Each structure stands twice: as C-alpha cells, then as structure tokens.
A and B are shown apart, each in its own frame.
Chain A
Amino acid sequence: KAGVTQTPRYLIKTRGQQVTLSCSPISGHRSVSWYQQTPGQGLQFLFEYFSETQRNKGNFPGRFSGRQFSNSRSEMNVSTLELGDSALYLCASSPDGGEKLFFGSGTQLSVL
C-alpha cells in the first residue's frame, strides 16, 4: 500500500507569489490534515478535510486555504507569500480523522 505522497518535495518562491501544494493520501483514507512545521513554532495545525469538507481549522490567516477532491486528494494554497511562510508543510491522512495519522515526507517551502 503506497504511503502519503506530497509534491513537490522542495519549492522556492518569492514574496507576494502564491503556491499550491499537493497531497495524495493512503488509498481508502478520507481524512487529510495539513500542518506547518518551523523550528520556532514547531508543528502547527492548519486544517483538516474529510469527504471534501473542511472539518477543523487552526489559527492561520485566510491566505492559507485548502480543498479536497472526491478521490480524497488534497491541495493547500498559500497566497501573497511572506518570508515567515517558509516552513516544512506536512500532510497526514487517516481513515476517518483524528486518531492515527500517517504523514507524508512534507514539502519544504522557502520564501525569498
């Protein structure tokens, strides 16, 4: 069974640009969560999608958005990038949300 796949693995953008990150969950998993990981703030929850609906949301500005498709694949979008958005973005899937998360290797975003 393939694991959680995140693309791209690395990304370099400049301030003001926007970016879209992709996550393919484990087959059969309907819940996808996104986290931002930085050395200073640790792992912070962005949002969770379940069956194409956003079910939980963390405390991030509206520049951070996401969506989930009918095949459970999810995308995360960040608009008007800021230097502070530089981070490792991790996606995690689970069969029904919450209890046991399976993480991808992440997308390392650098904003210059």
Chain B
Amino acid sequence: GDSVTQMEGPVTLSEEAFLTINCTYTATGYPSLFWYVQYPGEGLQLLLKATKADDKGSNKGFEATYRKETTSFHLEKGSVQVSDSAVYFCAPNYNNDMRFGAGTRLTVKP
C-alpha cells in the first residue's frame, strides 16, 4: 500500500547549521505532500506543503521540493535555530487520506 519513509532521528545540530531531513513516498498516484512540525507538548502544525511535481513549499526558512522522479520531498533549512527543535513529520495525502512518517526529532544546540 501507499507509505512514507522518513529519515530516522534523532538529529542534533549546532545553531546556524544546515538541515536536511529526507522523506520518500510510494504512491500509485500523485499525492499532495506536507511537512508538519510538533513542538514539545503541542499538537502538530502544518509547516509547508506542495501539491504537484516541482512545486516548492516554504515557510519560516524551511523549504521542500516535490520531486516526482525520485518520489521525494526532503526538508531543508539553511541555518537552524534553537527554536527549531521539534519533531518533523513528512505526510503524503492520498485522496484525503493523510499518512504520516515516523517523525524525525531535531535538537538544535546553542
């Protein structure tokens, strides 16, 4: 069935380091792709999304590009901050059925 594979964590970076969290999906169709973020003690929040091939979603300095040829939607940020410490979830949406990756915990140290 349809699924999503996300880079395992935890990931620990120093402030201002470059971040990449890999995500690949399998699908027979063309899902919309999402990244959600969960800060400590909170529910998930939508971070960014892309709805078709080659679309780039961006928000708060984070970016991800819908790569149909590699079925990937890797999350990147050029310079992370301590406040970016959270768990990040990749989530393809298959016909209104949202599937979440296992989540990648990011810790950013000052």
Chain A residues lying within 8 Å of B95, measured Cβ to Cβ, are 98
Residues of chain B at the chain A interface (Cβ within 8 Å)? 32, 36, 41-46, 49, 89, 93, 95-103
Say whether B46 contacts A105, CB under 8 Å: no
Say whether B43 contacts A105, CB under 8 Å: yes
Chain B residues lying within 8 Å of A105, measured Cβ to Cβ, are 41-43
> What is the distance, in angstroms, from A20's C-beta to the closest C-beta of chain B?
19
Say whether B97 contacts A98, CB under 8 Å: yes
Say whether A101 contacts B44, CB under 8 Å: yes
Instruction: Give the contacting residue for A98; candidates B42, B93, B101; CB below 8 A.
Output: B93
Say whether B96 contacts A43, CB under 8 Å: no
Q: Is A66 an interface residue (CB 8 A)?
A: no
Chain A residues lying within 8 Å of B99, measured Cβ to Cβ, are 45
Cβ < 8 Å to B, chain A residues 90-112: 90, 92, 97-106
Q: Which residue from chain B places its CB closest to the CB of A9 in the assembled complex?
A: B41
Q: What is the predominant secondary structure among interface residues of chain A facing chain B?
A: strand
Instruction: Give the contacting residue for A101; candidates B98, B102, B103; CB below 8 A.
Output: B98
Instruction: Give the contacting residue for A90; candidates B44, B49, B101, B103; CB below 8 A.
Output: B44
Chain A residues lying within 8 Å of B44, measured Cβ to Cβ, are 43, 90, 92, 101, 103
Q: Which residue from chain A places its CB closest to the CB of B101 in the assembled complex?
A: A42
> Given the complex of chains A and B, what is the CA–CA distance between A106 and B101 in angstroms?
18
Say whether A98 contacts B102, CB under 8 Å: no
Q: Is A24 an interface residue (CB 8 A)?
A: no
> Given the complex of chains A and B, what is the CA–CA distance between A4 and B44 in angstroms?
11
